[in-house]
Structure 1
Amino acid sequence: MEKLCPRFEKAMGLLSTRWVGLILFELLKGTKRFSEMEADLPISGRLLSDRLKLLEKEGIVERNIYSEFPVRIEYSLSQKGRDLEPVIKEIQSWADDHVTADEVQEDTEKLND
């Protein structure tokens, strides 16, 4: 049996972690405040916070704190994160060509059951 590449496996594990792809897609649009992402993404604040911490730990997302009142915290992609842009755009292109609206609807219905 051929040995799997551990780097590829780690990368796929990270990118396939639930909501990570959508968070990265959102941050490709530019720097965002936590509240902006929370409003734009259909996930809880706690889960969003957990995923952002994971991405920050991996060096993909940068967290910038501004000493203002109230304190402003913004998230942006690091260079490592921006290097994922062609990968994410290719996945989007593939999805546009091969994932049907019916498949998306079926998945949504399964999540709501």
Structure 2
Amino acid sequence: MKWNELPNEPCSVARTVAVIGDRWTLMILRDCFLGVRRFEDFERRLGISRSIVADRLKRLVDEGVLQREPYQQRPVRHEYRLTDKGLALHPVVLAIVHWGDSYYAGPEGPPLIHRHKACGCDFAPVTTCSECHAPLGARDVEFRPNPAAGDLRPILS
């Protein structure tokens, strides 16, 4: 499977990786969830070239994950804000952060602690069943083909 073929694969992981699977894209998304909005701030925080920042931001805007909004008129300058589609990536980013905190944090612990605004408690993200609310791990899930999805042999074989 080639990188440019991922968007056409009959697999949700492949289609998602085609949008957010690049390391700089994930770092930009991390920064978005930390409140970064301006091009220069992404460039400064990540320490990468303007062309990489511009390319990744354009891709996220084209995919509807971010939207550009003007914050200055002369000259016109834009900031990048998460759309509903972008905000829906929050559990994905939290899962990546939690995995990194679990396996790569130093002896002092994770660099950031997540606090639930409503109850004021620090938390670790967990995946739960939308129906019974029980915690879900990899061994608790099974898959079945969606009859409406067509031929899934490339995924299931």
- Give the CA deviation at 1:71: 1.8
Q: Is the 1:25–1:88 Cα contact (8 Å) retained in structure 2? A: yes
- Give the CA deviation at 1:66: 4.1
Q: Is the 1:32–1:75 Cα contact (8 Å) retained in structure 2? A: yes
- Give the CA deviation at 1:89: 0.9
The one-letter code of the counterpart of 2:41 is: E
Instruction: Return the structure number with greater relative CO, CA threshold 8 A, min gap 6.
Output: 1
Pick from 63, 66, 69: which aligns with 1:61? 66
- Where is the helix percentage greater, Structure 1 or Structure 2? 1
Q: Structure 1 unaligned segments of length 5 or more: list them.
A: 102-113
User: Percent of counterpart pairs with the same letter?
Assistant: 35
* Residue in 1 that maps onto 2:109: none
- Give the CA deviation at 1:63: 0.8
* Residue in 2 that maps onto 1:83: 88
Higher mean C-alpha deviation, range 25-34 or range 53-62: 25-34
- Where is the strand percentage greater, Structure 1 or Structure 2? 1
Q: Is the 2:68–2:78 Cα contact (8 Å) retained in structure 1? A: yes
- Give the CA deviation at 1:70: 2.5
| TM score, norm. by length of structure 1 | 0.76
Deviations 1:3-28 (A, max 9, x none): x7422211123222130100000011
C-alpha distance in structure 2 between counterparts of 1:89 and 1:14, whole Å: 17
Q: Number of paired residues?
A: 98
Pick from 44, 47, 71: which aligns with 2:49? 44
Pick from 2, 21, 24: which aligns with 1:19? 24
Q: Structure 2 unaligned segments of length 5 or more: list them.
A: 1-8, 107-157
* Residue in 2 that maps onto 1:30: 35
Q: Is the 2:72–2:78 Cα contact (8 Å) retained in structure 1? A: no
Question: Over the residues paired in the alignment, what is the CA RMSD in angstroms?
Answer: 1.9
Runs of 4+ with deviation above 4 angstroms = none
The one-letter code of the counterpart of 1:44 is: S
Flag the 1:31–1:100 CA change in 2: closer, same or farther, 3 A.
closer
- Give the CA deviation at 1:38: 1.0
- Give the CA deviation at 1:72: 2.2
Higher-Rg member (1/2): 2
